[in-house]
Structure 1
Amino acid sequence: MSTDYSYDDQGQFFPFFFVTVAGLVTLPITYSLLRPSKDLENTAPRIQTVYQPKDADLVEGQRRKQKRRELKLKRMITAAIGWLTIAYMIYLMAVTTRSMPKLWDPYDILGVSRSSTEKQINSRYRKLSLTMHPDKARPDLSRNETTETINDRWVDIIKAHKALTDEDVRNNYIQYGNPDGKQSTSFGIALPKFLISEGNGKYVLLVYGSLLGVLLPYLVGKWWYGSQKVTKEKALISSAGNLFKEYNERTDAGGVVAALSSGMEYHEVFKGAKADSGTGKIESRVLSGGILSEKDRQKLEEMDDATRRKVLGLLWAYLGRIDLSDTTLNEEKYEVAPIALALNEAYISISLAFATSSPVLAAYHTSQNLIQALPPNAPPLLQLPYMTRPIIKAIEGDDQRTHMTIQRFMNTPEEQRLTLATKAGLDSGQYETAVSVAKQLPRLVVEKAFFKVTGERYILPSSLVQLVIKARFIPPGMDRVAPVANQHDLEDEDPEEGDLDAIHGRRKVIRDAQGKKTGVEPEQKPVQPPLAYAPYYPRDHSPRWHAFLADARQNKIAVPPFTFTTFDKPIFDETTRKPTYNVQTLKMQFQAPPHAGKYPFQVHLICDSYIGFDDVRNIALEVDEAAKAEESRVEEDEISEPEDDTIAGQMSSLRSGKVLANDDSSGSDTEGDEVGSETDTDTDTDEE
């Protein structure tokens, strides 16, 4: 069988080809555009407030700018072009189907079924000859028939009859679709005629060379380079290198801010004349703002790189909420904050590689500063609406050695708190707004923290240990918060053997205050806390809680941080919006030290979005010798000895060194006789 390649001059096949290619590109792009976003920032609730900061329009402008970037305009245009192409090709397919000539079919010409016998075909032919023969048929003028049309139709009838009355011809038509048998395969190539015309072959080579030799390598290289030039924290590799050079074990939050100004991402934002324009104005405002320590001031003044110096000034202006009296500079001030927060994630990863606690804590606190737009050591009350430094100073008084936290302010009796705020300069509406926001902040309070090994009473050397943290969300200012009523909520019950749903945390046993099982919790969707209340941060940010173990004596991190973004129980009631005070369970697993002993640690639970909500407490990990656990197991076996005919009994006997005999044992050895006699005695007892 031969193969024939020809130009598809009828246009029968190229629409199918284009629909297939366009579908392969358009469908995935459309799915990526229409798929609901699973980002935490797009699924979390919001803290309700009417407060708008002074630069709310600039902050909102930056948010809209970011949303425009996330619209993925190129993908939308590509999807639109793809669907238009598919629609047009489908239209061409429909037109082609209507205009295409019908295939020659002898059965259709004679009007018989494909299962007709030769006798039936001959009978049908004779009937047609009575009406369709040219000597008997007359042209139908209403159908525009002519004598030539009648003759052609009769010729087709004769050919069809001959094709079906010969057995070999009929079999060929049934098997191969053609009376002449198997035919050569013809492929229609849908290319413009000028490309396949004689002498134009070079254009075909040019097209294929451009596609395969230029465009395809360019697209693959661009994708590969784009994926390799950033870290998993989405920071440029060059920026990570600069942050590594800036790392210092004795750094503080101010030092972290200076390190973040070294990112190469800023050079993409500040190009050309924007690289150093307005730097002098920024520095004069920042240096006179009273927010810099002497070390931070010296770092800014000694900066050599023009772009980095401007960025560092903008970062301090953002953290100090300093008005730069210039719309462009104020916009740039808010533009650098999200970049700095992304770089801070990379700086945390670098710091964790050195396992020193101080820089990690400084970086986490810098994250809080960036989200709340506050410099290091700023009054935590500045996180609330309408709170300013003069107002806070009046509330704190002159005898305060440390700044008042939001918790302390909200724990002050209502009348005294209102009096303090009113005298400081807040009116009743502003005061109510500040208090309302404070009561919605997701402050996570640790109720209990302990170590355990699943299924074991003791923690042995090198075993897999879980640090279990039981905590509740108690917003500041919540009055009469009762202690945990059901103490079993503060325990961590091991799942039953074989219960895969419980093992994987998909459900949990419910017990009452007396420890009696009352039911099983159904599987619940993870619960998100509300988005961070950060009116000056030009992005939506979902709070994250980081828990890690540190050795305070050596200033080292013993267990790297575990990050928690969702929780297993509702935080606020959906209808009343009041706190539920549910006990949340946080777990982090690590390997116990290789030697027995008592190991003191500090548990750090840090929220990356709020200042003053950190929880630090001491805890000791007791690792026991393996012999102690074995002795305890033996004592338990002696207290509760299982029956010998059970699997538990046989396992217990193996651990204790006994050998069980079968019931039909002949008692050939001493130990066997002894065990056999015991078995006989038990049997006699049973018979009695």
Structure 2
Amino acid sequence: MAPGLGYDEQGSLANYFLITFITIALVPTTFFTFKSQLQPANVKALTDGLAVPESRQRASREKIFGKQKSKKKGISKKAIFLILGWSAFAFLAHRIHNSEAIENVIYNPFEILGITDSLTEKEIKRSYKKLSLKFHPDKYKLQENETQEDADAKFVEITKAYKALTDDVTRENWQLYGNPDGPQQREDVVAIPKWVIEGKNGSWVLAVYGLVIGGILPWLVGKWWFGTRQYTKDGTTNSTAATFFRRLDEMTSVSDLISILASASEFTSPASEASKKVAKDKKTIKAELGALEEAVRKRATELGLEGQNVDWEETGLGEVMGGRFDSLGNKRAGVLIWGHLLRIQWDSPSVREETAELLLSLPPLLASLLNISLSHHWFSTSLQIMHLQAYLAQATLPTLPNLLQLPHITFEQAQALESKVRSFRSVVGAGNGDRWVRAFNRIEKEKKKALLDEVKVTDNETERNEMDSVAKSWPKLEIVSAKFKVIGEKNIAPSSIVQCAFKLRLSNQTTSAVEPDAKKVEEDSDDEDESEAVKKAKDEALKKKTPLTAYTPYWPENRPLKFWAMIGDIKSDRVIVQPVFIPTIYLGETLSFSLQFQAPPNAGHYTFQATFLSNSVVGSEVRKGMLLIVDEPVAEAESEDDDISDPEEDSLAGQLAQMKGQRVKSSKLAGEDDDSSEEDSSSDEDGPRGKKGNDDSSSDSDSD
């Protein structure tokens, strides 16, 4: 040990050291663990915004996917860590509480001699003589439990205190260094118990040190490093991203996307944990997969997806049924995805649970597909990928009836009801932006009841009320205004940064807010100045509102209603502005939202399309064609009055200007008399020329 360093004799500093690092690890782990277990406020807000009560939706999900197990059997590794960690924290805290406090005594000779600091030197000397006579080693009688060394140390301490008050050198040392012996060597204590470095424990300490530093730590770092290298920023494996990149193209359809999703390496294993409990060997897995495949094929035939005029390859089912996948796991994933989209009710609880796990693993895969498509700037393919998310949330397909999104209705009933609603389109006034659900919702109550009775939709009053509630709360996004602008400029110049400003409004039949005037909103959009009081009032009003949650009983979890915004060029099938989620929008509220991009490098007229679509509702897409006019940059006119004066003719700059034929200013070195005489002589010599000048000037004045 180096001079000035020592080990913790009592172990109290080591306790502080250990409890600090344990606290750093325990507090965030405990916070996030309990945060995930408790229902946060935003989740409660989502359940409050449901058109159908949460209990009813939960019952529907349990019927489709089975009862979701929120907790696994046994104690998790995180729980064991928290139990052991807090137990160690309590043990160390108890030891710290019972340990002796670290003494940090300031040397005080007056206190040692038992006198005050106001005494004179004679009085100090008198007090010292009394104490020296009392505690002299030759005269002092040892007390009980007292040794001769203690008596000698006491006498030395009294003598040293006396010198600190009477001897000049000793007194100076005490005043400067706090000790009569002068500066002392500083001793820093390492927060390691002394028993750790004792010779008998050295080999064990070295073994543990080598195991941690040379084994466990490199293993953890390597596991983290090689684990992160296997995944992309979207959370998918590199092999999955490579497969997606190879198979995705600009002509990919929704059915092709399903096959590409199923080819992910995440599904290479024969089955999920839920299904492995039932199907343990490959032969059993193949038999179960064959039964699932046959059920999908039968359901597709019932819905008209398989027929004489429909090719399996064109529908995307042929790839699943034809066995073009590399593994049984990928083929099984494709069958389960199609089974979900065709709304097949599986009898096996393990298959239901496996379907729920499969669906919840799809969002990062879809995000990876979307990013690959956007890297190629494919507009139509990106739209297909975003549409697929809504199809998966609602368990439907583009060719299936839109009214399947309503509760308690079958495919046959939705198809029949849609044909009936078609005859009411002129009555309900369904415009180009409306979809079947909103068109159905606008039918009068009595006619709607007659239609439901005619197509034999459920006659249960509660279920019909839920259907009506979902239809009334069906979201409708409106583009109130949209325009291109460049901040601080009237025109849009080539390659300038363009802001596409939108005014959006979300409504449904239950919205009681007044429809905004589009012209007024567009005029108000230019006025960006808003007082802090108004902004604060708006923020407080928004806090009291509830964000909407999409009605998605065929998705394992609640889904907040979100809308993408994207700008593209249909003619070239290129993405101009990549899709982003717009901020949370509330019913009846007008939301200001903008997208930013760089204008084309050449002047001209460009037609773009702004597209808004939901991630959870099918048929909610809103499009708006927009014309971007890029003007040629206007050159600023040069000012005729130059601020820089002409150089004098006698200066070097003036001589250079004369050589270039530029204007110069007459020299001011000569006096006024010289100027006037020069002017007179000039007028005398050049009389006719001066007269001509006058004549010209007079003629000019006459003409004026």
Is 1:110 the counterpart of 2:118? The answer is no
> Given residue 158 of structure 2, which amino acid in structure 1 is its aligned partner?
I
Distance 1:669 1:387 in 2: 95
Gaps of 5+ in 1: 497-501, 511-518, 572-578, 632-653, 663-667, 671-688
Residue number among 62, 65, 80 corresponding to 1:56 in the alignment:
62
Q: 1:117 to 1:425 in 2, by over 3 A?
A: farther
Conserved? CA contact 1:381–1:404, under 8 Å: no
C-alpha deviations, 1:84-143, integer Å up to 9, x for none?
A: 434433332332225979898655433456898756644554565798889999999xxx
Is 1:341 the counterpart of 2:363? The answer is yes
Aligned to 1:547: 565
- The farther-off stretch of 281-290 and 233-242 is 233-242
Aligned to 1:221: 222
Distance 1:16 1:114 in 2: 39
Q: 1:584 to 1:150 in 2, by over 3 A?
A: closer
- The farther-off stretch of 46-55 and 267-276 is 267-276
Residue number among 393, 400, 416 corresponding to 1:378 in the alignment:
400
Conserved? CA contact 1:121–1:164, under 8 Å: no
Q: 1:378 to 1:105 in 2, by over 3 A?
A: farther
Q: 1:127 to 1:534 in 2, by over 3 A?
A: farther
Is 1:93 the counterpart of 2:113? The answer is no
Q: 1:412 to 1:481 in 2, by over 3 A?
A: farther
Distance 2:2 2:118 in 1: 31
Aligned to 1:180: 181
> Given residue 8 of structure 2, which amino acid in structure 1 is its aligned partner?
D
Alignment partner of 1:231: what SS? Answer: coil
Residue number among 520, 539, 564 corresponding to 1:524 in the alignment:
539
Conserved? CA contact 1:109–1:156, under 8 Å: no
| Post-superposition offset of 1:313 | 0.7
| Post-superposition offset of 1:221 | 2.3
> Given residue 441 of structure 2, which amino acid in structure 1 is its aligned partner?
M
Aligned to 1:615: 622
Q: 1:2 to 1:555 in 2, by over 3 A?
A: closer
Is 1:161 the counterpart of 2:161? The answer is yes
Conserved? CA contact 1:452–1:459, under 8 Å: yes
Distance 2:119 2:228 in 1: 66
> Given residue 524 of structure 1, which amino acid in structure 2 is its aligned partner?
D
Equivalence map 1:597-636=2 (5 Å): 597-627=604-634
| Post-superposition offset of 1:349 | 0.8
| Post-superposition offset of 1:584 | 1.4
Q: 1:202 to 1:481 in 2, by over 3 A?
A: closer
Is 1:469 the counterpart of 2:471? The answer is no
| Post-superposition offset of 1:325 | 1.1
Distance 2:88 2:351 in 1: 46
Aligned to 1:557: 575
Q: 1:107 to 1:659 in 2, by over 3 A?
A: same
Q: 1:123 to 1:566 in 2, by over 3 A?
A: farther
Conserved? CA contact 1:47–1:530, under 8 Å: yes
Conserved? CA contact 2:475–2:506, under 8 Å: yes
| C-alpha RMSD over aligned residues | 4.3
> Given residue 299 of structure 1, which amino acid in structure 2 is its aligned partner?
E
C-alpha deviations, 1:187-210, integer Å up to 9, x for none?
A: 555656675344654433323222
Distance 2:227 2:134 in 1: 77
> Given residue 222 of structure 1, which amino acid in structure 2 is its aligned partner?
K
Aligned to 1:254: 255
Residue number among 287, 290, 312 corresponding to 2:297 in the alignment:
287
Q: 1:595 to 1:8 in 2, by over 3 A?
A: closer
Aligned to 2:266: 265
Structure 1 or 2, whichever has the larger Rg, is 2
- The farther-off stretch of 77-86 and 249-258 is 77-86
Aligned to 1:421: 452
Aligned to 2:438: 407
Gaps of 5+ in 2: 307-311, 426-433, 646-663, 667-704
Is 1:586 the counterpart of 2:593? The answer is yes
Q: 1:589 to 1:310 in 2, by over 3 A?
A: same
Conserved? CA contact 2:135–2:155, under 8 Å: no
Aligned to 1:430: 463
| Post-superposition offset of 1:467 | 1.5
| Post-superposition offset of 1:376 | 3.4
Equivalence map 1:429-448=2 (5 Å): 429-448=462-481
Q: 1:396 to 1:11 in 2, by over 3 A?
A: closer
Is 1:331 the counterpart of 2:338? The answer is no
Residue number among 295, 313, 316 corresponding to 2:338 in the alignment:
316
| Post-superposition offset of 1:589 | 0.8
Aligned to 2:18: 18
Distance 1:422 1:280 in 2: 39
- The farther-off stretch of 323-332 and 402-411 is 402-411
Q: 1:481 to 1:4 in 2, by over 3 A?
A: closer
Q: 1:162 to 1:382 in 2, by over 3 A?
A: same
- The farther-off stretch of 195-204 and 322-331 is 195-204
| Post-superposition offset of 1:74 | 4.9
Distance 1:352 1:179 in 2: 79
Alignment partner of 2:560: what SS? Answer: coil
Conserved? CA contact 2:160–2:180, under 8 Å: no
Distance 2:511 2:190 in 1: 80
| Post-superposition offset of 1:369 | 1.0
Q: 1:331 to 1:483 in 2, by over 3 A?
A: same
What count of residue pairs does the alignment treat as equivalent?
606
Aligned to 2:484: 451
C-alpha deviations, 1:500-539, integer Å up to 9, x for none?
A: xx6xxxx5799xxxxxxxx666573877732332122112
> Given residue 288 of structure 1, which amino acid in structure 2 is its aligned partner?
K
Identical-residue share of aligned pairs (%): 28
| Post-superposition offset of 1:23 | 3.7
| Post-superposition offset of 1:306 | 0.8
| Post-superposition offset of 1:547 | 1.7
Residue number among 381, 388, 394 corresponding to 2:410 in the alignment:
388
C-alpha deviations, 1:537-561, integer Å up to 9, x for none?
A: 1123333322222222233323322
- The farther-off stretch of 254-263 and 97-106 is 97-106
> Given residue 300 of structure 1, which amino acid in structure 2 is its aligned partner?
V
| Post-superposition offset of 1:591 | 0.9
| Post-superposition offset of 1:145 | 8.1
> Given residue 610 of structure 1, which amino acid in structure 2 is its aligned partner?
V
Alignment partner of 1:589: what SS? Answer: strand
Conserved? CA contact 1:261–1:340, under 8 Å: no
- The farther-off stretch of 170-179 and 261-270 is 170-179
Q: TM-score, normalised by structure 1?
A: 0.76
Equivalence map 1:464-543=2 (5 Å): 464-475=497-508, 477-478=509-510, 482-485=514-517, 487-491=519-523, 493-494=525-526, 507=530, 524=539, 529-543=547-561
C-alpha deviations, 1:611-639, integer Å up to 9, x for none?
A: 01101232211222223xx69xxxxxxxx
C-alpha deviations, 1:559-614, integer Å up to 9, x for none?
A: 322321424xxx2xxxxxxx4x2221221011111112111222211111100110
> Given residue 449 of structure 2, which amino acid in structure 1 is its aligned partner?
L
Conserved? CA contact 2:107–2:178, under 8 Å: no
| Post-superposition offset of 1:247 | 0.7
Distance 2:527 2:399 in 1: 45
> Given residue 611 of structure 2, which amino acid in structure 1 is its aligned partner?
H
Aligned to 1:46: 49
> Given residue 353 of structure 2, which amino acid in structure 1 is its aligned partner?
E
| Post-superposition offset of 1:299 | 1.1
Alignment partner of 2:480: what SS? Answer: strand
| Post-superposition offset of 1:300 | 1.0
> Given residue 539 of structure 2, which amino acid in structure 1 is its aligned partner?
Q
> Given residue 168 of structure 1, which amino acid in structure 2 is its aligned partner?
V
| Post-superposition offset of 1:449 | 2.0
Distance 2:96 2:118 in 1: 32
| Post-superposition offset of 1:312 | 0.7
Distance 2:110 2:99 in 1: 24
C-alpha deviations, 1:175-227, integer Å up to 9, x for none?
A: 54544333444455565667534465443332322222222222222333333
> Given residue 586 of structure 1, which amino acid in structure 2 is its aligned partner?
F
Q: TM-score, normalised by structure 2?
A: 0.74
- The farther-off stretch of 325-334 and 192-201 is 192-201
